[in-house]
A and B are shown apart, each in its own frame.
Chain A
Amino acid sequence: MSEAKKPGWRELPEADVLAAGTADKFHTGGWRSERPRWIPETCIQCMICWIACPDVAVTTKDGKMTGFDYDHCKGCGICAFECPTKPNSIVMELEKK
């Protein structure tokens, strides 16, 4: 937004009240130094990664894990840490520069 279009203090919604769902528009993928890779062959569909992800970045379809939303995954590695299968069904790999 250009400087001229930003609202002054009289127009700006009080108390920093914003529309809901703004985090959806805010892509955190750019922060990532490591990215999770899903290995469907060993995945048991326990959904632990989905519960554990702090960014709702584990994608699902019909109640099943389908991979990652890389626009919002910030690469924290919690999903890989929590995945219970041996070997792991999520591995963290260095983000390509």
Chain B
Amino acid sequence: MPTAAKTGNEAMAEAMRQINPDVVAAYPITPATEIVMIFASFVADGLVDTEYIPVESEHSAMSACVGASAAGARVMTGTSSQGLALMYEILPIASALRLPIIMSDVNRALSGPINIHCDHSDTMAARDFGWIQIFSENAQEAYDNLIQAVRIAEHPKVKLPTMVTTDGFIISHCLEKIEILEDAQAKQFVGERKAEVSLLDVEHPVTLGALDLPDYYFEHKLQVAEAMRQASQHILEIAKEFEQQTGRKYDLIENYKLDDAEIAIVALGSTAGTTKAVVDELRSKGVKAGLLKIRVFRPFPAEALAKALANVAAVAVLDRADSYSAQGGPVYTEISSALYGKTKAPKLINYVYGLGGRDVTIDDIRGVFSDLQKIDKMPTFNYFGVRE
């Protein structure tokens, strides 16, 4: 398999080139700009057959994606932070109309105060819009996840829009060596989109997006909820198929040295990589430390997670976003509810960290593990990396 040095953004653009979507509608925003900028050069150079729509805002980008996807096209876009926020109005329309739009989102702090660096507040605020959400630890995963996202979104039992995220600058701008599928192999893996209806099919005209009042709306929303429940098993099937092609294994969650762990961290995105380094270090000193990385945040892998954490004594959930709920970050509350009522469950504490691109160091993670060793003395809600 060919290898190349790519940043996260380049890796995602490369995946888009191989996917060769019918339509891309996008508006540039730091730190995601490069993804669609590099892709635009592929269009200009005739390397893809894509209709590229340079729209005037992200609201228009997602609206154009909805229209093109309803016409039966395979549609992709990329954005970040305020750009994703400007799409919020359209995101639940895409899922309600069951349009398998595929998005790269580079996680960046939501303003304000204005900031262009990484945290997960943009993606977490979009968690309840019926979009599948997949987090990446590094550029390789960003590439692999985006290729798989096409199949996940378009699976006939799923048909839900899907976003694949990387961490702003940390992954998006960091150069790594990654393995890339051969073009033909990628093309074969993603196949062609087979839309059941198309607004351009004048022989079989349909109405899409009609007013859906109290007598029908609820049933349509239940269909989305059920599709999300079904999605997990299909995400796993597609991961298996991807593994057969590449040897790279994917699951809803990744358990790193968790089997016999006494203390563990739950993290998403690039912090999982930092945590692995600390887990290795602690293991070499005989400390039974582990990591649970959440890859798929929507649908939330509650069962897998509760099972994986059942025998761990103390767990710290790291949230790179705050909910301002006075009840911990979004990942923490999800995990608490996943563990509720389980007879075997760890003691749980929460850390909000890394907001607005605040650096996450090996020392920070060492500190969390040392807190876990005295969890009985710890408050439930904590922060690290913030000045007192």
A15 with B210, Cβ < 8 A, contacts A9-B226, A21-B205 known: no
Structural contact, B207 and A14, CB atoms closer than 8 A: no
Q: Mark interface residues in A4-26 (1 if CB within 8 Å of B CB, else 0).
A: 00111100101111111111000
Tell me the bound Cα distance from A52 to B136 in angstroms.
51
Structural contact, A12 and B208, CB atoms closer than 8 A: no
Find the A residue at minimum CB distance from B209. Answer: A16
A residues within 8 A CB of B210?
16, 18, 22
A-B interface pairs (CB < 8 A), number: 53
Q: How far is the CB of B283 from chain A (nearest CB, A)?
A: 48
Find the B residue at minimum CB distance from A20. Answer: B205
Q: Is B151 an interface residue (CB 8 A)?
A: no
Q: Mark interface residues in B195-238 (1 if CB within 8 Å of A CB, else 0).
A: 01100000001111110100110111011001000000000000
Structural contact, B206 and A12, CB atoms closer than 8 A: no
Structural contact, A18 and B98, CB atoms closer than 8 A: no
Structural contact, A20 and B98, CB atoms closer than 8 A: no
Residues of B within 8 A of A (CB-CB), count: 22
Q: Is B23 an interface residue (CB 8 A)?
A: no
Tell me the bound Cα distance from A20 to B209 in angstroms.
12
Q: Is B289 an interface residue (CB 8 A)?
A: no
Tell me the bound Cα distance from A6 to B219 in angstroms.
10
Tell me the bound Cα distance from A20 to B210 in angstroms.
11
B residues within 8 A CB of A20?
205-207
Structural contact, B97 and A16, CB atoms closer than 8 A: yes
Partner of A15, one of B96, B218, B222: B96
Structural contact, B216 and A16, CB atoms closer than 8 A: yes
Structural contact, A18 and B219, CB atoms closer than 8 A: no
A16 with B215, Cβ < 8 A, contacts A9-B222, A9-B223, A9-B226 known: no
Sorting the interface of chain A by its residue count into under 10, 10 to 19, 20 to 34 or 35 or more gives 10 to 19
A residues within 8 A CB of B97?
15-16
Q: How far is the CB of B130 from chain A (nearest CB, A)?
A: 11
Structural contact, B205 and A15, CB atoms closer than 8 A: no
B residues within 8 A CB of A7?
219
Q: How far is the CB of A41 from chain B (nearest CB, A)?
A: 39
Q: Mark interface residues in B284-321 (1 if CB within 8 Å of A CB, else 0).
A: 00000000000000000000000000000000000000
A residues within 8 A CB of B96?
15-16
Structural contact, A18 and B206, CB atoms closer than 8 A: yes
Tell me the bound Cα distance from A8 to B219 in angstroms.
7
Please give 19 more A-B residue pairs, beta carbons under 8 A apart, in addition to A9-B223, A16-B216, A18-B207: A6-B216, A7-B219, A12-B220, A12-B223, A15-B96, A15-B99, A15-B159, A15-B208, A16-B96, A16-B209, A17-B196, A17-B197, A18-B206, A18-B208, A19-B206, A19-B207, A20-B205, A22-B210, A23-B207
Please give the residue numbers on chain B whose beta carbons come within 8 Å of chain A beta carbons, in ascending order: 96-99, 159, 196-197, 205-210, 212, 215-216, 218-220, 222-223, 226
Q: Which 10 pairs, one residue from A and one from B, show the smallest C-beta to C-beta distance?
A: A20-B205, A9-B219, A15-B98, A18-B207, A9-B222, A15-B97, A12-B219, A22-B207, A17-B206, A16-B212
| 21 A-B pairs (CB sep. < 8 Å) | A6-B216, A7-B219, A8-B219, A9-B219, A9-B226, A12-B219, A12-B223, A14-B98, A15-B97, A15-B159, A16-B96, A16-B209, A16-B210, A16-B212, A16-B216, A18-B210, A19-B206, A19-B207, A20-B205, A21-B207, A23-B207
Please give the residue numbers on chain A whose beta carbons come within 8 Å of chain B beta carbons, in ascending order: 6-9, 12, 14-23
